[in-house]
Amino acid sequence: MSAHGTPIPMTSHRCGPLKGVAEVPGDKSISHRSLILGAMAVGETKITGLLEGEDVLDTAKAMQAFGAEVTNHGGGEWSVFGVGVGGFAEPDNVIDCGNSGTGVRLIMGTMATSPISVTFTGDASLNSRPMARVTDPLALFGAQTVGRKGGRLPMTIVGAADPVPVRYVVPVPSAQVKSAVLLAGLNAPGETVVVEKEATRDHSERMLAGFGADITVEETDEGRVITLKGQPELKPQSIIVPRDPSSAAFPVCAALITEGSDVLVPNIGLNPTRAGLYFTLQDMGADLTFENMREEGGEPVADLRAKYSPNMKGIEVPPSRAASMIDEYPVLSVVASFATGKTMMAGVKELRVKESDRIDAMAKGLRANGVTVDEGEDWWSVEGLGIDGVPGGESCDSVLDHRIAMSFMVMGMGSQKAVSVNDGSPIATSFPIFESLMGNLGARLTRDNH
């Protein structure tokens, strides 16, 4: 169960066609950053289309605890009165980030260069995830950390009273680590430099520039070199949050595997650092079209149409694409089950340290439902059974992971027999309207024992 609820067993029954417009919620990554940067600006930031999922609501509460004024005006309209870079107050209580790795890691970055002490905790999933990847670089600024064995939450961070700027080469492809270092660099004097060998989502860089920070990005032989000048005055912004391509993946993939489907997802963010799934699906033969490509609020946006695609083929997903679709491998593995031939997904070690070990969780559930999966430490492969070939019929463990729960719900929409999960409650962390949205398109989802 999630930090906020009791377990909700759910079942997805074969359905089709799925038809209509899927207005998926706002982007989770951009929503967290809007609240956090809004809290570090001086004055009122206005946000339209904020994702009102549990993860983001926990970040909103955290920003309030640090002294920012966060107001929900209804209908996805929010405002944040920021306290300025270096203006965070010490919270009176523990900061509970629920299920959210992005929330906790970014917030750790924001407070690590202020002279305050903060204790962080989360749900069972978050408290089992590695934090050293963030606290190691934060220590270079002068922050101190006391956590549980293996660098796990609950954890207290004592921010640096006299922070120094750092130069940090990110050892794993992680936008959360990159962003934590950049956010810490905001309140350090001089220039903080972050180098990433593989490009990861660049919302922090784009948004910091939008808020008026002096930030440059250079492509070099060493990788992407990001340089941020510390102690700027951030200017409040009006932000329109695009719809989340990672949430859009669920109705899109469901449409591909259910007969007669035709689903339009308007206004989805198609930042190239996020769009890898859609290119991969096209490579597999999916009927996807991008309409009205445009730019909104500094992010590329389009309307995406997905139609039933009965002749998809398994492919080798280029490892170079992994960072741009890291959250989408679970649902891709479901689509791969309905393609013909093998889909190979390599270079994906990071999947083992997400809200769950996503390779393990998907492999177990896919196998239980009749699909052959092979796996190694940093790769896995799925043997496709063709569009009508997936048996289904079994229940899967969603292991406190929203994307695992939604992926198995998509699987049930196309498999011969229904597919269940023991707990759908984590879906509310990122996609609180999942059941109603999918139901309106024509999916048959039921809550069991209720």
**In sequence order, which residues have a C-beta less than 8 Å from that of residue 30 and are 6 or more positions away?**
203, 207, 239, 241, 242, 269, 299
Of 201, 243, 274, 402, the one binding ligand S3P by CB under 6 A:
201
Closest to ligand S3P by CB, 50 vs 339, is 50
8-state DSSP, 91: P
* Shortest separation between residue 20's beta carbon and ligand S3P, angstroms: 27
Contact 44, 238 (CB under 8 A): no
Upper half-sphere CA count for residue 283 (Cβ side, 13 Å) = 15
Of 2, 113, 174, 261, the one binding ligand S3P by CB under 6 A:
174
Contact 113, 188 (CB under 8 A): yes
* Shortest separation between residue 53's beta carbon and ligand S3P, angstroms: 12
Sole window of 36-44, 110-118, 168-176, 382-390 interacting with ligand S3P (rule: CB under 6 A): 168-176
Residue positions forming the annotated binding site for 3-phosphoshikimate: 28-29, 33, 174, 176, 327, 354
Largest Cα–Cα distance of the chain, in whole Å?
62
Q: What letter represents residue 371's amino acid?
A: V
Dihedral sign for Cα 251, 330, 51, 49, please: negative
- The sheet that has 191-196: what strands, in order across it? 167-170, 191-196, 223-229, 215-220
Residues between 337 and 366 with contacts to ligand S3P, criterion CB under 6 A: 350, 354
Sole window of 154-162, 171-179, 251-259, 404-412 interacting with ligand S3P (rule: CB under 6 A): 171-179
Closest to ligand S3P by CB, 17 vs 318, is 318
Residue whose tokens read 């962003």: 179
* Shortest separation between residue 138's beta carbon and ligand S3P, angstroms: 15
Give the interface size with ligand S3P as a residue count (CB under 6 A): 11
Does the footprint of ligand S3P cover residue 327 (CB under 6 A)? yes
Residues between 266 and 325 with contacts to ligand S3P, criterion CB under 6 A: none
Is 162 a residue of the active site?
A: no
**In sequence order, which residues have a C-beta less than 8 Å from that of residue 139 and are 6 or more positions away?**
145
Q: What is the dihedral of CA 136, 139, 145, 148, to 10 degrees?
A: 10
Of 2, 11, 12, 29, the one binding ligand S3P by CB under 6 A:
29
Question: Where in the sequence numbering do the catalytic residues fall?
Answer: 327
Name the site residues for ligand S3P (rule: CB under 6 A). Answer: 29, 102, 174-176, 179, 201, 326-327, 350, 354
